[in-house]
Amino acid sequence: CDDTFSLVSLVSAGLGIGFAPEWTKDLPNRNFELRPVRGVDLKIGLGVAWNKEDPTASRDDIIDIARSLARPGR
């Protein structure tokens, strides 16, 4: 499932299980059990997009932050 909200809806309806981000524990009216997965190194893809017609300093700051968060061991 490519969309977290769709995944949560399907699981809540009893139509399967899945991996969900920790922030889903804070969703209102959730009808599913969320348990931590320990001992597994899960990785996600991360991309940064911006309008190339509008280069700004804040864009560079966002890229720097994304790179620092994506460092191995973080």
pTM over 0.75, yes/no: no
Tens digit of each residue's pLDDT (9 = 90 or more) over 14-30: 888 888 888 898 888 78
Give the count of domains, the chain.
Answer: 1
Examine residue 74 and state whether it is found in any structural domain, yes or no. no
Provide the pLDDT confidence category of residue 55 given band limits of 50, 70 and 90. Answer: low
Examine residue 32 and state whether it is found in any structural domain, yes or no. yes
Class of residue 24 by CB neighbours under 10 A (exposed 0-12, middle 13-18, buried 19+): middle
Tell me: pLDDT of 10 over 80: yes
Residues spanned by the domain of 10? 4-69
Examine residue 29 and state whether it is found in any structural domain, yes or no. yes
> How is residue 43 written in tokens?
């990785």
